[in-house]
Chains A and B, each alone.
Chain A
Amino acid sequence: MITSKERMQIAMEHKEPDRVPFQATFVPEVDKILREKYSKEIANIKGKTTEKYQGMTELDILFGHDMLLLTYGLSTGYYRDTDSETYFDDWGIKWKKIPYITKNGTGYYTEIVGFPLADDSKIDSYIPPDPDNEDMSYAEEVIKNYGKSHYICGIIDCSIFEALKYLRGITQSLIDIVANKDIAHKIMDMSVDYHLKLGYKLIERGADLLWLADDLGGEHKMLMSPEIFREMVKPKMGYMINSLKTKNKNIKIAFHSDGYIEPIIDDLIEAGVDLLNPIQPESMSPAEIKKKYGSRIGMWGTISTQQTLPFGTPEDVEKEVRERIKACGPNGGFLLAPTHNIQLDVPFENIEAFYNAVNKYRDYPIKY
């Protein structure tokens, strides 16, 4: 049998491996529940040694995920394992843990409540974190253990527009991008430099894929016009991707944006994106995206964490997995996954149904 890494490599070349590759991630509360539930099974699996950020865990190996994620950069601000209600990250961003109650217990969502550059006067004197201070030992450990067997995805997300949002606030950033373009450029360029350096570090250590992200889509409409995206964001994205691929021509690039972004998919392909995530089915039809763009860009995601996983039945989950593999699996270029971390409101039966369905339907060639 081929390794997970080979399976992903073949899929990324838009060919069919033995099976559709897949992966999933969990919010920390679900991760904890599953680790306890499967404590015996994971006892001898090498996992991460600290709980500092989200990322690869023993569960990835137990559940057979083909790709492992290493979280670096701005998005490490999410889900910090801390007892305090609020905390600051290295960027001076203030995060707050917002509790919510589900049938499976109380969870926390982390949200930004303090934006370090909300005030214009702070911008010129702001010093971003130094990428050389990032602790790369976590990436090194995972790659040492699994770099030969698994496809390694280095996360350098929240890289361009998202950084503007995190540092200025969403309302202000949407105004900046059309009305205060100098400020927008300055802050986005600063983030590009930082995340690019992190990307180089991850390439040097053996990452196969780097994951960029900027949420540009609303549920049914883009947050900004495609013209503003092309003017303000796309050139920076192209610069980042070109620099990363110059560093290592074999490196692949994934890009994440929630919501509806169909008007710019051609732009993403042109900028050098190889894999699009998460193709939220509430916003864009995965089958149509496959038909229109599937030969030119890979698809990663498509299983609804907004509706089907939390609110559907196990039968609904199985049906969705089956349909997506049938629609998006042919000719490879497909990495099946939930569209976001599996949340605490997802019934355990639905998580189980997801894995059972993946194993039932993922064999190539697809015969149903």
Chain B
Amino acid sequence: MASDDIYKQLYENVLNGDFEQTGELANKALENNIDPMDAINSYLVPAIELVGERFGKKEYFLPDLMRSANAMKNALEVFEKDIREKGVERKSSGKVVIGTVKGDIHEIGKSIVASLLTAKGFTVTDLGVDVESEVFINKIVEEGAEILAMSALLPITMPYQGKVIEDLKARGLRDKIKIMVGGSPVTQEHAERIGADGYADDAVEAVKLAERLMKS
């Protein structure tokens, strides 16, 4: 396979969500001396951006988004490992700590946001689900995180997003971090009420929001 074909195939795999072969393809790319940074920036990222655009236009749906994110992840793992081994770092778009709040074990939305953030160059620490306020805060301090992203899928767990913000204030850390919230029942009004910096309606919007928050 010529380099041009591999590039094209990587792009197509992410766009079409053919995730199963993508890790292998990334290895083949390295064997062909393809520059992994170039592969990421010129092919994988534009592909996932187009996926996001199609999702926004309701041409793509959750299954498509998940499969494309998986394809991206499989290729990124191979390329980023290689980049690290060469002693270089992919420039981070920002450090994010993400998780679903205590009392809530809904995972899928939060995980898609984490995948897409990683795809767009963010350094993401995913704390999983049912995360206590203290665990969020300790991890923020440990990582020097710039963004905290919290998910809640139940009206009964939404208030906990506010509690984490209050706890950050009490620790004098609120001004050091941008906070974004999401999840089906979460609204812009809720985000404002609890003092978050932003709300996004879906995973694609969440990435745009994170990029905006990094600039603000």
Contact = CB atoms under 8 A, between A and B. Distances in A.
Interface of A: 96, 98-102, 107, 109, 111, 113, 170-171, 174-175, 177-179, 218-225, 228, 259, 282, 305-307, 310-311, 343-345
B184 A218 contact: yes
Interface in B28-43: none
Interface string B79-115: 0000000000000000000000001111010010000
A102 B156 CA distance: 7
B201 A98 contact: no
Interface residues of B, number: 24
Contacts of A170: 108
A224 B61 CA distance: 5
Contacts of B172: none
11 contacts: A100-B103, A100-B157, A101-B103, A171-B108, A171-B111, A174-B66, A222-B61, A223-B61, A223-B63, A259-B184, A306-B155
Given A179-B67, A223-B62, A109 B185 contact: no
Interface in B105-129: 105-106, 108, 111
Nearest to A102: B156
A135 to B, nearest CB: 30
A85 to B, nearest CB: 13
A111 B105 CA distance: 8
A224 to B, nearest CB: 5
Contacts of B105: 96, 98, 111, 113
Interface in B145-166: 154-157
Given A219-B184, A220-B201, A221-B58, A98 B104 contact: yes
A247 to B, nearest CB: 34
Q: Would you list the 10 A-B pairs with minimal beta carbon distance, nearest first? A: A100-B103, A174-B63, A178-B63, A219-B184, A225-B61, A345-B156, A306-B185, A100-B156, A310-B155, A223-B62
A224 B202 CA distance: 15
B184 A345 contact: no
A98 B103 contact: yes
Nearest to B61: A225
Given A100-B156, A170-B108, A225-B61, 12 more contacts: A96-B105, A98-B105, A98-B130, A100-B104, A111-B106, A113-B105, A171-B108, A178-B64, A220-B201, A222-B61, A228-B61, A282-B185
